[in-house]
Amino acid sequence: MPDLSTNTGGIQSPNPFWLASAPPANSGRQIQRAFEAGWGGAVWKTLGVPIQNVSSRFAGHTIRGVQAAGFTNIELITDRPLETNLREIAETKRLFPKNPIIVSLMVETEAEWREIIKKSIDAGADGLELNFGCPHGMCERGMGSAVGQEPAVNERITGWAVKYSTVPVLVKLTPNVGNIVPHGLAARRGGAHGVSLINTIKSIIGVDIDRFIPLPRVGNLSTNGGYCGAAVKPIALHMVAALAREKEFGLPISGIGGISNWRDAVEFILLGSSTVQVATEVMLRGYNIVEDMTDGLQEYMRTHGFDRIDQMVGKAIPAYSEWGHLDMNYETVAKIDADKCIGCQLCVAACHDGAHQCIHPQQDTRVPHVDESECVGCNLCQIVCPVPECIIMTPVDNGHSPASWNEFANEGKPLRPKKGAH
């Protein structure tokens, strides 16, 4: 049986699945129920000076009938008294000593950081997560993403935390920056033991088109919120990978952003995460999703020959490269399996209207014909095809040796003739 235990910056966890700092990790009783359900760890909802929240706070982005494929919130950090949270942290640690509790923190002055770090560690925190990411409300008070967007401030505050902490410190990074790398490096310079990313993306999730008010609506006003949920996964994967492949970085990563199932988790791990954090999918479906996450991951590891998580971490990073290194002479064409084809011709519409006009309807059959001499191998037909494995992108032996654009530009290696560029 593969071993799911992980170590992120010195924080040991029985499995890589953590609750992210969010409503599912708001209170002791919740986190205890999550641990009972099988979650490995939890990042306690951010402690600081308790705030007051608005109503409403959440909104979903429905995509083709899939409710909350994207999600937003305008909740702030914890609204509960600090003493209550600390008491429940201690109680939860007593009940679940093997499950790490990482306490998320967000305060302003060095003195405040020192005090709240001490209290958190005294309560039993196994690690700290510095919330430099919240893109709404707190940043307007000079905290959250206001810190995460300034590498110098990030480095200074990280330095305070590391100085006062006796447990590992993770810095949670905001995606609301042009390039994530300088921010990860700032956390490293500050002495962080690891980073968590991404926090939510500054966004307006929708507009009430009858009232002319953005969403979520608070009376007659709204504000920008933090976008999250399944729809943000590609952005998060890129940012995680950008740090993981950065040679000067080298810190452990706790991946966050649209993770809804074990497959998503595997992708984050393969791109460099040693743990993954989940909030939105728990908010939408509850703690019990972790059962499928753990046994799905375990079965994946078993069938792919992995005994431990660390064997998987970053496994796909070597294959993440620049466009200039891609092999221009690698060629595929679409092949349609006539036995599987149901004749919907979505591929015809997609190819004609959205790609390179090489898939044609036929007179005597609903199965379209691919003009392989024109097919550029773009994949669009395969993406729209509703039948699994009906359209296969098939490599073509075109007789050309591999050649990247850089090799063509710098060394004059020959490229195959262009297709579909009439």
Q: For binding to another protein (CB under 8 A), which residues are involved?
A: 64-65, 342-346, 348-349, 352-353, 356-358, 360-361, 366, 371, 374, 386-387, 420, 422
Nearer to another protein, 101 or 230 (CB): 230
Q: How far is the CB of 351 from another protein (least distance, A)?
A: 9
Cα Rg of the chain, angstroms: 24
Q: How far is the CB of 257 from another protein (least distance, A)?
A: 25
228 is catalytic: no
Tokens 């990411």, located at residue: 133
Nearer to another protein, 221 or 421 (CB): 421
Between CA 358 and CA 348 the distance in angstroms is: 8
Nearer to another protein, 86 or 347 (CB): 347
202: its two tokens = 């500054």
Nearer to another protein, 172 or 356 (CB): 356
Nearer to another protein, 234 or 343 (CB): 343
Nearer to another protein, 339 or 411 (CB): 339
CA distances from 277 to 86, 273, 282, 406 (A): 22, 10, 10, 38
Tokens 């530009």, located at residue: 409
Alpha helices in 96-212 (DSSP H): 110-123, 145-148, 151-164, 181-189
- Answer for the pair 123, 93: CB distance below 8 angstroms, yes or no: yes
Tokens 């700032």, located at residue: 186
Between CA 283 and CA 335 the distance in angstroms is: 41
Give the DSSP per-residue string, 367-416. Answer: S-EE-TTT-----HHHHH-SSTTSEEEEE---SPPP-BHHHHHHH----P
101 by Cβ neighbours in 10 Å (0-12 / 13-18 / 19+) ranks as: buried
- Candidate list 134, 228, 341, 378, residue with the active-site label: 134
b/e code 288-327 from CB counts within 10 Å (16+ = b): ebbeebbeebbebbeeeebeebeebbbebeeebeeeeeee
191: its two tokens = 């002495």
Q: How far is the CB of 357 from another protein (least distance, A)?
A: 5
Q: How far is the CB of 393 from another protein (least distance, A)?
A: 19
Catalytic residues: 134
